[in-house]
Amino acid sequence: MPKEHIHVVEDEEDILELIKYNLSREGYHVTTSASGEDAIETVASDPPDLILLDLMLPGADGFEVCRRIHNNPASQSIPIVMLTAKGEEADIVTGLELGADDYITKPFSPKVLVARIRAVLRRAQAEPIDEDASIKIYGITIHPGRHEVRIDGKQIDLTSSEFRLLYLLASRPGWVFTRYQIVDALHGEDYPVTDRSVDVQIVGLRKKLGKAARYIETVRGVGYRFKEQ
């Protein structure tokens, strides 16, 4: 069976060819864009299973591309792996806040790149579709099969990372998750992010939840928990 469709957005031709070669060798269907604007149009007309997105692009940069893709209901659930020469914490935090699922810095090992993409795709496909897996608590309904969250009947648009974060916390009310446990659950072990990144994701999720944000409690010095009923 053919593997998943990956759309690579990279303006440096040598890097683009390297990525395309390694992903194609693994059996993935690969399409490419060399600019942010082209990527946005291509993703809209031919949605991939995952987007590998460089940050430093001509025109609309990777952050803007990520923002616009996740603001479009038709493409907001597509996983995005950011690829960039930047490695500062601020860039990692910004990427996560915009909904990126992983972040890889150049130079990179092709084997590591393929492994990280495989892990992101596996997580995206691992969400249960059983109706019984839905969570209902405090007027919040979280349906993993539909990737849907409703608060008092009103649908709330979340990125894939925000959805997994909310589902994780709400699945065990009262249980305190450390920041490292949250990173492992959302992104896998050895994911190169900091405590600050988790805090930023929590802030973004709380903003979208509105009044329901009060159910996500901060346990000072430890991590976060969903309020127990």
Q: Read off the pLDDT of residues 20-60 as tens digits, 9 standing for 90 and up.
A: 999 999 999 999 999 999 999 999 999 999 999 998 888 88
Do residues 73 and 157 lie in contact, with contact meaning Cβ atoms separated by under 8 Å?
Answer: yes
- Cα 145–chain centre separation: 17
Q: Which helix (H) or strand (E) holds 177?
A: strand 177-178
The pLDDT value given to residue 129: 42
Q: Is 184 exposed, middle or buried (0-12, 13-18, 19+ CB in 10 A)?
A: middle
Take residue 194 and report the two structure tokens written for it: 């900091």
Decide: helix, strand or coil at residue 150.
Answer: strand
Give the C-alpha separation, 139 to 142, whole Å: 10
- CATH number, domain 131-226: 1.10.10.10
Write the pLDDT tens digit of every residue in 165-192: 899 899 889 888 888 778 777 765 555 5
In the block, tokens 């973004």 appear at 204
User: What separation, in Å, do the N-terminal and C-terminal C-alpha atoms of the chain show?
Assistant: 46
9-23, 33-47, 144-158, range with the lowest pLDDT:
144-158
Take residue 115 and report the two structure tokens written for it: 């492994």
pTM for the model stands at: 0.63
Superfamily of domain 5-125: Response regulator (3.40.50.2300)
The pLDDT value given to residue 187: 65
The pLDDT value given to residue 1: 45
Asked whether residue 209 carries a pLDDT value surpassing 50, the answer given is yes
Contacts for 1 with CB less than 8 Å, ≥ 6 apart: none
Asked whether residue 75 carries a pLDDT value surpassing 90, the answer given is no
66-70, 146-150, 190-194, 207-211, range with the lowest pLDDT:
190-194
Q: Give 98's Cβ-side CA count (13 Å radius).
A: 25
Higher pLDDT, 96 or 195: 96
Domain ranges (residues) in the chain: 5-125, 131-226
Helix pair 179-187, 160-170: axis angle to 10 deg: 130
Asked whether residue 126 carries a pLDDT value surpassing 60, the answer given is no
The pLDDT value given to residue 112: 87
The pLDDT value given to residue 189: 52
In the block, tokens 């990280």 appear at 116
Neighbours of 4 (CB within 10 A): 18
Give the C-alpha separation, 118 to 52, whole Å: 12
